[in-house]
Structure 1
Amino acid sequence: MSDAEWAKKLTDEQYYVAREKGTEAPFTGKYYDHSEKGNYTCVCCGADLFSSTTKYDSGSGWPSFYDTLKNDDNKSHVAEHSDKSHGMVRTEVTCTQCDAHLGHVFNDGPKPTGLRYCINSASLGFKPKI
């Protein structure tokens, strides 16, 4: 999609975060304190990204997960990229289907992976488990 098409499809905040690599303020996103069972999806393309079974309270103010969902080939719909913005080196995570910015991943999460996917609610949709 073109930038204009994404801007029509998404809210201003979703566009800023997912397409312009922005960040929502901590403790403001609709999924940071969300505990319903189901899958978290990409707000742009609908790809399944994270399961509620791997969501945990990291205390960061953003939805946090210790693992991603995998497809039938055991590949994640979440890609990792080096991010050197803001005077630091971090690992950005994006959707492999549409390149939407999701957030960042850190090595300070719980077992079994030791990872903390720190994700913006504005980049996510949700499909409840039926």
Structure 2
Amino acid sequence: MAVEHYQQPLSQPGSHREQQPATKRKRRVVGLGKIETLTYLVLFVLIATVAIYVLSLKMEAHTVQTQITQIESETAIKEGEISELKTEVTDLSSYDRIYEKANELGLDLDNGNVKVAEKYGKN
């Protein structure tokens, strides 16, 4: 709101005219027009809508980041399990273990049954 003040000019000091009566002030309150009110309302709604949209995008980004972190954690756990399983396979398929299991089952190593295949095409 704006307030307008009207003042009458004061007489110059030292002038010989009669003293004028006290200065009259007139106040008038200026209101907003319909178009201005509508403009402010539209701007307020627009700013509120944009703020809500930005907040929803930030919330969605936070949710996605949380999911990414969870998946990376699960991936690290699975990679650890895979590494342990590879180590176990290596230990179970070692020659010494196979020879030991064969002896437990009553099997003997007979070099006459072992055949070595040579690669063809050697120069």
Q: Tell me the TM-score normalized by structure 2.
A: 0.14
Compare the two structures and name the one with the higher strand fraction: 1
Greater C-alpha Rg:
2
Structure with bigger RCO (C-alpha 8 Å, 6+ apart): 1
Q: Tell me the TM-score normalized by structure 1.
A: 0.14
Compare the two structures and name the one with the higher helix fraction: 2
